[in-house]
Structure 1
Amino acid sequence: MVLTVSGLAIAPVKALAVVFRAELSVGPDGVAEDRRLFLITPTGKIVTLRDFPALVSVRPDLDLAAGRIAVGFPDGSVAVGPITPSDRQVAGTFLGKRRAGRVVPGAPAEALLDYLGQPVHLVLAERIGVGWDEGPVTMLGSGSVDLVADAASAGRDLRRFRMTVTVAGTAPFEEDTWVGRRVGIGELVVAVTELLGRCVVITRSPDTGTPDWDGLRALARRRGPNGIILGVVARVVRPGAVRLGDQVAVDVG
């Protein structure tokens, strides 16, 4: 069966809502806008959805070319401001990776502070790739989603999986077999490095952050208690553009 790109998504601000795109430009370290900003507490703790699930209700709109960030909240309000980082540098560690950058003051940062009800800084990462956890590109096959989600509509919402690329036409867990192989996705070529372990984030509503699907148990039923994995991680071999509908080819040169 022909494999094609059926979904493309980024999270411009780590821990906020994912944003779907019709096209992504993927560089050596991933998509420039993906997790390019993050939130950090004054004590150096990186803010995540596991700790603050309600952040998934906040939709970011990042325009790096224009130097602008907007964040939209559930009540319909939107805070907009320039990406003009201060001289203040901050850093924290999450999943063994150092996350560093400069604090971005302004209306979006103030609105996020008010929404969370505790002090946080909005930070522009010092370089592309600081924000991602496992690797610059993640991929998931639609056949895996179909099997794990069964008939539950909640489990079929691709936003909860927060993947860079979703591939249509795969058999269940077919992407597992791509580890150690090169995959062409449109103009992009990646080397698949590992399986992607999952956490409680997939069990929470992409709209509200409240639990609405027992996804970890659903995975365990299909894969066994030690197989809470779904999707794969890849590094970039040849940068390029990826568009919805592009063909996906395994074992490319």
Structure 2
Amino acid sequence: MAKITDLFRYPVKGLSPEPMNSLTLTRDNGIPFDREYALALGTTEFDPDHPEPLDKGFFLMLRNNEALAALRTKYDPARDRLSVALNGHAVLSAELGTDEGRDAVERFFERYMGEEAKGRPKLVRSAGHKFTDASVVSPVFMRSVSIVNLASIHALEAAVGEPLHRLRFRGNIYIEGLEPWEELEWVDREIRIGHVKLKGLARTPRCGAVNVNPDTAERDANLPKAIMKNFGHTDLGVFMEVLNDGEVRVGDDVLTPYLF
């Protein structure tokens, strides 16, 4: 029986994940507080009153900005507060719902990212909008949940001859007990975790973000090329649509399409 080993949410696009013991999944919102905020480049136009999905290249993100991986962030939803640490030292704590807090965040990332920010970045948020990579496809994809199969990571590790940190792949739900690449066959099929049903939307194509080592913040691999060379595609993981509201927990059994 396949099981959940890890759960993560990413409150600010491109910044570090938060490990969770449980996640609430909803049909209308996917994972609350996941990719809730983003740091738009200084050159990016984004209207929170009339949000339009934008390619991730309009924001600070790991594909282009590996220095983000050196930051350790924590988000407190009750206080709408973001805390940032660098090399074990607190460098920022700000309430994002205030002008002062947003100003502090933007000034910090302008200094930290330098020219890569293309001016002063803008902390953006919009009710009902998520800054997921797949948001440009459709509203359903915007609310999707990212599932990563640990066996696929292990197959890639064997191919490249070195261990790979699972968080390179920035999934929400990590699963063990599957065959390598089994998750790629879930498109248009349903799985169940506890009482929550999910349906596969698309395989997750991998970009240069996975080349960044989460421990060192260095771009030390070319994993999309390695996946293509060894397996004939560039996918690892799957985007899933949440079909009903419910909670999933670390250790929950995962019923794959072959089991119900």
Task: Give the TM-score taking structure 2 as reference length.
Answer: 0.82
| Structure with greater strand percent | 1
Structure-1 separation of matches of 2:172 and 2:120: 26
* Aligned twin of 1:198: 206
* Aligned twin of 2:53: none
Structure-1 separation of matches of 2:22 and 2:221: 29
Distance 1:21 1:128, change over 3 A: farther
CA contact (8 A) 2:25 2:248 kept: yes
1:66 aligns with 2:79: yes
Specify the SS of the correspondent of 1:35: coil
* Aligned twin of 1:113: 110
Map residues 220-235 of structure 1 onto 2, 5 A cutoff.
220-224=228-232, 227-235=233-241
2:113 alignment partner AA: L
1:61 alignment partner AA: K
Any unmatched runs of 5+ in structure 1?
A: 87-102
1:124 deviation in Å? 4.0
Structure-1 separation of matches of 2:166 and 2:65: 20
CA contact (8 A) 1:191 1:234 kept: yes
* Aligned twin of 1:81: 94
1:53 alignment partner AA: E
1:115 alignment partner AA: Y
Specify the SS of the correspondent of 1:123: strand
More divergent stretch after superposition (105-114 vs 32-41): 105-114
CA contact (8 A) 1:85 1:124 kept: no
1:204 alignment partner AA: V
1:74 deviation in Å? 2.9
1:3 deviation in Å? 0.5
Structure-2 separation of matches of 1:188 and 1:237: 7
Structure-1 separation of matches of 2:231 and 2:35: 30
Distance 1:205 1:115, change over 3 A: same
Any unmatched runs of 5+ in structure 2?
A: 45-57, 135-140
Q: Pick the aligned partner of 1:161 from 156, 169, 174.
A: 169
Structure 1 residue runs of 4 or more that deviate by more than 6 Å after TM superposition: none
* Aligned twin of 1:17: 16
Structure-2 separation of matches of 1:72 and 1:211: 21
1:85 deviation in Å? 4.7
Structure-1 separation of matches of 2:123 and 2:197: 30
1:241 aligns with 2:233: no
Structure-2 separation of matches of 1:107 and 1:74: 20
**What do you get for the CA RMSD once the two structures are aligned?**
2.1
1:104 deviation in Å? 5.7
Instruction: State the identity %.
Output: 25
| Structure with greater helix percent | 2
